[in-house]
Chains A and B, each alone.
Chain A
């Protein structure tokens, strides 16, 4: 890779931690509930494949040092209890006290929406299966949100493949002003404040109150705007995986699409060196909270060089750089569509943010709560208002408020329901997820364990570990024909020969 061409192919994946509650349970045990839900789905699939933790190093810091602690290790017996590797190339498992779903690697924003939404269906299928094991009056409720309103947050993380050649400090400089203001498009909306932040009736972001520093490794305490975890799950000489932890869980397909679409574009601009310190903010950690509380999106934010811009103006500046610097090959039809929608949203926010009541989660939710509050003459502190906020994220099709809006055709869609259902069982065709998902479907009894960048086969000749260090390889185009006809032995031999 030459310095002139530092961009790497777009690869995006998201990880969502879900909130979980068992109605009418004598006491709440979120670990047991999460394990029950994941296993209820798991039993539909393959019971024996483990997750290969040897490939993980979550304590490696992108700034060059390693935290002193043990890598996570899970006893063999527990491994397959808490992990389910999915035939769509994704992963479903128990993380701490939450069920978590990771999409497979996707090459574009549209696929990412499809696989993230397929994950919601997987969670809901799990819930239905798990409820068969509960007492009659008990119900499992799963929320795709980020907070319990009592200071406990759980994340919706995004991952983007980047060139290793980009200095991490360039990412911090170029990305921080973008991420701090991106919430006007990607926020999911929240009633009230938390974590000691200034009180408010309603704010744009679920997560904003939880960010306490600019850069750091932690994801659970003193959360940083830019996370330094350096765990590429790919060839570390070529790539880094940027781990974005500042975003909200989105219900709106349109919001997910723009969130990952515009972020991938901005990272390309950073790789090209056209975004540097020109938008550096005076106090980004304070600004993330003030932007979240500015429902007009028009309050001025102070830049380091004393200019004062609105969040919309900062987003507009990134969009203009994209128009100037993306090459014709980079402007795929999906990238063009993302740029158009980004422009449309910024124009609409400028005119009237409430006009986006079919597009952006925070506006959809605010309009709904406004109308309900007006009808019943409630105060914003009424528990029924907070209940509406929570229930917006309820995955049950008959109870979730977002789900009801979707069902009645009141929210903008990016995909059809059929496309999402298809993505439960089928991997993307154009990333290494194709190889992983297809092997899982074809050789379920001959796979010992899997990680993002490896598969260990346990075939007739013993254990064979195949590494997948380039996330945009292993596609249908490259391995489709081979996988159609081969046995595990053929496959391993063929790959060995090709590697020589």
Chain B
């Protein structure tokens, strides 16, 4: 299920959703983000690749362009 916020994005024409926000509104969003960040940090604890050290060590690519 899309979150309420995501639904809101979908219901608006794209140009409106990406409009510049006044400073006060942005700040509110940032505070809201900080709260939600806590929830996301819980998620990260769950989804971060186990054994990060080995994973990062073994992630080797060939140079591209």
Contact = CB atoms under 8 A, between A and B. Distances in A.
Nearest to B52: A387
B10 A337 contact: no
B41 A375 contact: yes
A69 to B, nearest CB: 16
B61 A358 contact: no
B65 A152 contact: no
Contact of B61 (A154, A220, A368, A412): A154
Contacts of B38: 371
B60 A150 contact: yes
Interface string A238-262: 0000000100000000100100000
A174 interface: no
A390 interface: yes
Nearest to A20: B61
Interface string B9-50: 110001101101000001101100110111111011001110
Contact of A152 (B4, B36, B55, B62): B62
Nearest to A371: B37
Contact of A220 (B14, B55, B59, B65): B65
Contacts of A412: 18
Given A333-B15, A368-B40, A386-B52, A96 B59 contact: no
Nearest to B20: A344
Given A384-B48, A404-B40, A418-B10, A97 B33 contact: no
A185 B53 CA distance: 30
A151 B23 CA distance: 40
A412 B18 CA distance: 7
Interface residues of A, number: 65
Interface string A214-227: 00000111000000
Nearest to A409: B5
A69 B57 CA distance: 36
Contact of B65 (A21, A157, A257, A418): A157
Contacts, number: 142
A19 B58 CA distance: 13
B61 A97 contact: yes
Given A97-B64, A152-B63, A399-B47, A409 B37 contact: no
A372 B18 contact: no
Contact of A149 (B44, B47, B56): B56
A426 B4 CA distance: 29
Contacts of B65: 17, 95-96, 154-155, 157, 219-220, 245
A176 interface: no
A388 B40 CA distance: 12
B33 A413 contact: no
A409 B3 contact: yes
A265 interface: no
B60 A152 contact: yes
Contact of A368 (B3, B37, B56): B37
A416 interface: yes
Contacts of B43: 404
Given A404-B40, A410-B33, A417-B10, A387 B56 contact: yes
Contacts of A404: 40, 43, 47
Given A95-B65, A408-B36, A409-B3, A337 B15 contact: yes
A151 B44 CA distance: 27
Contacts of B49: 387, 391
Interface in A330-360: 333, 337, 340-341, 344, 348, 355, 357-358
Contact of B9 (A348, A355, A416): A416
A23 to B, nearest CB: 8
7 contacts: A97-B62, A152-B60, A391-B49, A401-B44, A408-B40, A410-B40, A416-B9
Interface of B: 3-6, 8-10, 14-15, 17-18, 20, 26-27, 29-30, 33-34, 36-41, 43-44, 47-49, 52-53, 55-65
Given A398-B47, A413-B18, 5 more contacts: A154-B63, A155-B64, A375-B41, A391-B47, A412-B18
For the complex of A and B, the 10 pairs showing the least CB-CB separation, nearest first, are A154-B64, A409-B5, A387-B52, A383-B53, A97-B62, A219-B65, A155-B65, A148-B61, A17-B64, A152-B63
